[in-house]
Amino acid sequence: MLTRKQHELLTFIQNRLEESGISPSFEEMKDALDLKSKSGVHRLISALEERGFIRRLPNRARALEVIREPETASPRGAARVATKPAPTPPPPPFVAPEAANDVIEIPLHGRIAAGAPIEALEGSATLPVPAALLGPGEHYALEVSGDSMVDAGILDGDLALIRRTEVARDGEIVVALVRGEEATLKYLRREKGMIRLDPANAAYDPQFYTPNDVQVQGKLAGLLRRYH
């Protein structure tokens, strides 16, 4: 027995999958059911999953699969009329469309120093990234080289997800192009008319440059880490 809201959500998810093959976002589900917060959507999703109507697909962003048709669920409080059903042929087996794996291919532009600046490499490779890790705007990825940002949780070999921008506030982690040829990943700060690029490792000293020597090419948006 499903509540009215559970039935409405199940029907909404099923209709969206049939229309586009993509699961609706939690924001869309919240608006469709006129809920005040996404926590209500999470509770409804968990209840439907426990009752065997949907399942979450592993390793996929916001991917849901309907495994029981909404028509088999009766909303709580729905009127019941005793009628003798007319004989009908059995329905065909229900096959839910496969939910889309929300993955975006972004450019992978080589290695970037998290220590002394190194030459920024450009390449034609791409990196598949879950859309949930990226916000609005254009993004690219760089492989981190060095250990000067370890205290910020950025390790050698990590893949830094960068949102392309030419402006940044003090204290933000940026990709800074130095003198047009070397790139580094550092905290950006402005001090006495100079640009200071700060590491997150006490073993390294800050680097000072004139404003004309430093060009911001993006801000850190996220990290991917591979475990071997």
- Catalytic residue list: 148, 186
Distances (CA, A) of 177 to 45, 151, 195, 211, 212: 45, 22, 12, 11, 11
Residue matched to tokens 């048709």: 69
| CA 138, chain centre distance (Å) | 14
Six token digits for residue 79: 């009127």
2-5: long-range contacts, CB 8 A cutoff, minimum separation 24: 2/48, 2/51, 2/53, 2/73, 2/74, 2/75, 2/76, 3/47, 3/75, 3/76, 4/75, 4/76, 4/77, 4/78, 5/33, 5/44
